[in-house]
Amino acid sequence: MLIALVVGVVVGRAASWLPWTAFALWLTFGGHWVEVFFLNWLRPRLPAERWAQIGGRLLIWIVGGTVLMVGARATALALGIPAMRVPPWSLGGPILVGIELFVHGLAQLRRQPNLYNGLR
């Protein structure tokens, strides 16, 4: 949620930081739940091979990010943020993948289980 607040303050500046924070929460907080869905539901159903686990995780991030971006865009329009010119399905997946890779990179720096070290 800290990432969402930083996005809200940086992008929205002083006047409209709250709507931009609400927008960013879709991908940051919602992305957390996409990851929880992978870990608790999909991961146990996939083969144990590393390629299957990484492929399934990336696919869930792309699909989940697309769905979250649709919700984020609806929130943005409802709160008066100018509409984005790029369709949500072309942004959500790659943005969520970037966020998740960043978060897993932080976990790697702290030597915690993550995508990179194969423990999570």
Q: Is residue 98 part of a domain?
A: yes
Per the structure, how many domains does the chain have? 1
Q: Is residue 10 part of a domain?
A: no
Q: Is residue 87 part of a domain?
A: yes
Q: 43 lies in which domain range?
A: 23-109
* C-alpha dihedral sign at 31, 34, 36, 39: negative
Q: Is the pTM of the predicted complex or chain greater than 0.85?
A: no
Residues 59-104 have pLDDT tens digits of: 999 999 999 999 988 888 888 887 665 567 688 999 999 989 999 9
Residues 99-120 have pLDDT tens digits of: 899 999 999 999 998 888 876 6
Q: Is residue 118 part of a domain?
A: no
Q: Is residue 54 part of a domain?
A: yes
Nearest to 79 by CA among 25, 10, 6, 1: 25
Secondary structure (DSSP) of 56-116 = HHHHHHHHHHHHHHHHHHHHHHHTTPPPPSS-GGGTHHHHHHHHHHHHHHHHHHTT-S-TT
Could you tell me the maximum CA-CA distance found in the chain, to the nearest angstrom? 49
Q: Is residue 11 part of a domain?
A: no
pLDDT at 3: 73
Q: Is residue 76 part of a domain?
A: yes
Residues 7-32 have pLDDT tens digits of: 767 776 666 778 888 888 998 899 99
Q: Is residue 2 part of a domain?
A: no
pLDDT at 2: 73
